[in-house]
Amino acid sequence: MPEPSRPSAAVVVATYNRPDHVRRCLDHLAAQTVTPDAVIVVDSSPGTQTRDVVAERAGVTYLRNERGAGHTATSRMIGVAAAGDVDVVAFVDDDAYAEPDWLELLLRRYDDPTVGAVGGRATNGQPGEEREGLGAIGRFLPNGTLTGHFAADPGRDVEVDHLLGANMSVRRAAVEEVGGLADHYPGTCLREETEIALRLRLAGYRILYVPEAVVEHVAGPYAKGRRFDLRYTFYGERNHLVLLGRTVGVGDVRFRRYLGVGARTALGHVRYAAVAAARRPRVFGDDSKTRGIANGLSRAGVCAAGGLAGAAALVRLGVAGELGGAR
Amino acid sequence: MKIGAYVLAGDPAWVEDSVGSYYDLVDHIVVAYDQDGLSWSGDPLPVDEALARLRAVDRDGKLIELPGRFSDPTRPALALDTAQRQAALDRAGVGVDWVLQLDTDEIVASPERLLACLRRAEAVGADSLDYPLRFFYQRSGDRFLELSRRFWGPRAGYPGPVAVRPGAHLALCRQTRASVYRVDFRARNTDPWNHGDVRVDEVIPLEEGIVHMSWVRTREQMLSKSSVSGHASERDWPAVLQEWDRAARHPRLMSAMSVFSRKRDRHIRLTAAPVPLRGRDWYEPHAEPR
């Protein structure tokens, strides 16, 4: 029986050095209740293992991202360009395993022409995560910060301002209308997927979070351990400033408010160090005081460095005429 | 979107201004009252006057009266307050998407903004709406004294969500544990009882906040409030009334000196009338403080 009319769709999997995860991810895509018009794996790994995994699969396209690690947005761009003239491009992480009806549920929402992007839940296996952050899923707040909570299950579709790259889709024509994807988010790639969603929102498109459209998000090998490390903090600050500059623009009140948020965060780390410095060691040889001071000061320093790196990136983008807001 | 509301009848002071400010937004208003005319703690309450004045503003027949027994001197007033509100909320939630929970001394300054926030709360999947109240403390001539931040900045109050979903469970008075969409006057929280970094979902101008006329009353009404309020036992009322009287006599001094107060609910600023008021007889000639 022919499939009922639905938008044409390509699924893009951006990957780096996770061949086993890619294999399982593709297994799940092969089991979808609607068959995507294309499945494209964009690989930035140095080796050939992922290429070999994809070669086992008929109908899956393998492409290279020669920029290597830290350029997930470039992988997405390569995937979108290769997807051709489809209506919708869906993205799923290599360590995210889609439920069989995932794509079908996402595509159903595109009947509404005001919808520019649709995403779903990414479960992490944490107890109670389905209730965490209800009412605050995927929000861009007036102080320039973002909320996540993409494992929450509100029980119905809700409107959001941005989505999680592990489980999102975009209307291709809308993405072209707002200028396409861009890659200005190096390092941990934090915020790279947020930019396109915010630009779609600013252009007036609605973005839907569909809790029924689920992927199981397992942490890949290099994402394990303490994610909120100094590197994460640095790129978090840097990339967030770039995100705001690229979307709302540096003249926007939310950009200015975020500078205050960043300054308070850095001062909070300094305060932490000061409290540690004033603390008496509980027992002889207790080095918690030293660790507390070092921890607070290093985080404050990394916050400030991230902010400065973000400012430098914004200057470069400004010179190139690639900032948002005033465009 | 269909909206219901409930009120508790017993405080007639601002009832026309309050109910009239959102009357056109709602499909029905449940009026819960103690059928014996008593407060939660057993004191006489002007229920009949409140009901008469509510009926007078009900031009489209939206009122649903819900009598009950909500007075019991042996039980905590706040528990009875919660029970009365829960009964009213359960009835008001029939056939609507949201229920407004406003007291009869709270005036909606911008029904359009309140409705827009409610729609946004609905769209983002929240089950309650925290919308900021401006707390008015006293009147002096044509000026009002309003609670503020230490240096006269805007201050929001949140006695509980202004709107909740039908079926919501009230934990204490108007408060619930439902997911919330939070509106404030600034992008950084202005409620001194909350942490500065509490999430703010939307910022509105100060003029669009709900006007809470709680203490803008005659002295007689304040004396009555001191005996029937759910918080009556928490205050030293003679001292409170003395300070309240002084504020009417020396508003500028009170406002200027309030920056030195260490109590976060003692910072005050002078402001103009927050909304056009209907100006009831009792209200115009302010009772001369003794």
Q: What is the pLDDT of residues B80-136, one digit of tens each?
A: 999 999 999 999 999 999 999 999 999 999 999 999 999 999 999 999 999 999 999
Q: Check pLDDT > 90 for residue A283.
A: no
pLDDT of residue B229: 67
Predicted confidence (pLDDT) per residue in A82-108, tens digit: 998 999 999 999 999 999 999 999 999
Chain A residues whose CB is inside 8 A of the B167 CB are: none
Please give the residue of chain A at the shortest CA–CA distance from B197: A261
B98 in reach of chain A (CB within 8 A): no
pLDDT of residue B1: 94
Q: Name residue A96's beta-bridge partners.
A: A217
Query: Among A175-179, B62-66, B265-269, which stretch is predicted with the lowest mean pLDDT?
Result: B265-269
User: Chain A closest CA to B181's CA: distance in Å?
Assistant: 6
Share of chain A above pLDDT 70, in %: 94
Across B41-54, average pLDDT: 92
Check A142 against B179: CB less than 8 A apart.
no
Chain B residues whose CB is inside 8 A of the A139 CB are: 124, 201
Name the band, by pLDDT with cuts 50, 70 and 90, for residue B219: confident
Question: Both tokens of residue B90?
Answer: 């359960």
**CA nearest neighbour of B195 among B207, B181, B184, B206:** B184
Average pLDDT value for chain A: 91
Query: Among A94-98, B75-79, B278-282, which stretch is predicted with the lowest mean pLDDT?
Result: B278-282
Chain B residues whose CB is inside 8 A of the A142 CB are: 187, 200-203
Q: Check pLDDT > 70 for residue A139.
A: yes
pLDDT of residue B179: 95
Residue-wise DSSP of B238-288: HHHHHHHHHHHH-HHHHHHHGGG-SSTT--EEEE--SS-----TTTSSPPP
Name the band, by pLDDT with cuts 50, 70 and 90, for residue A210: very high
Q: Check pLDDT > 60 for residue B288.
A: no
Q: Please state the φ and ψ torsions of residue A293, each to the nearest 5 degrees.
A: -65, -50
- Residue predicted with more confidence, A248 or A3: A248
pLDDT of residue A326: 47
Check A141 against B200: CB less than 8 A apart.
yes
Cα separations (Å) of A323 from A113, A248, B45, B70? 27, 8, 63, 61
pLDDT of residue B282: 42
B199 in reach of chain A (CB within 8 A): yes
Across B60-65, average pLDDT: 97
Predicted confidence (pLDDT) per residue in B161-218, tens digit: 999 999 999 999 999 999 999 999 999 999 999 998 899 999 999 999 999 998 888 8
Average pLDDT value for chain B: 90
pLDDT of residue B284: 45
Name the band, by pLDDT with cuts 50, 70 and 90, for residue B235: confident
Please give the residue of chain A at the shortest CA–CA distance from B119: A159
Of A134, A254, A257, which is closest to B179 when you measure between CB atoms?
Answer: A134
Name the band, by pLDDT with cuts 50, 70 and 90, for residue A168: very high
- Residue predicted with more confidence, B230 or A159: A159
DSSP 8-state secondary structure symbol assigned to residue A225: S
Please give the residue of chain B at the shortest CA–CA distance from A137: B124
- Enclosing H/E stretch for A170: strand A167-171
Q: Check pLDDT > 70 for residue A220.
A: no
Tally the C-alpha atoms within 13 A of residue B61's C-alpha that lie toward its C-beta.
0
Chain A residues whose CB is inside 8 A of the B200 CB are: 141-143
Name the band, by pLDDT with cuts 50, 70 and 90, for residue B278: low
Predicted confidence (pLDDT) per residue in A33-77, tens digit: 999 999 999 999 998 999 999 999 999 999 999 988 888 999 999
- Enclosing H/E stretch for A208: strand A206-217
Q: Which amino acid is at A217?
A: H
Which of A121, A131, A134, A163 to mutate: most B Cβ within 10 Å? Answer: A134
User: Chain A closest CA to B182's CA: distance in Å?
Assistant: 10
Q: Please state the φ and ψ torsions of residue A41, each to the nearest 5 degrees.
A: -105, 125
Chain A residues whose CB is inside 8 A of the B187 CB are: 141-143, 253-254, 257
Residues A170 and A196 sit within 8 Å (Cβ to Cβ) = yes
Residues A89 and A9 sit within 8 Å (Cβ to Cβ) = yes
Chain B residues whose CB is inside 8 A of the A150 CB are: none
Name the band, by pLDDT with cuts 50, 70 and 90, for residue A228: low
User: Chain B closest CA to A24's CA: distance in Å?
Assistant: 33
DSSP 8-state secondary structure symbol assigned to residue A111: G
Angle at A52 between CA A47 and CA A54, to 5 degrees: 115
Check B125 against A147: CB less than 8 A apart.
no
A257 in reach of chain B (CB within 8 A): yes
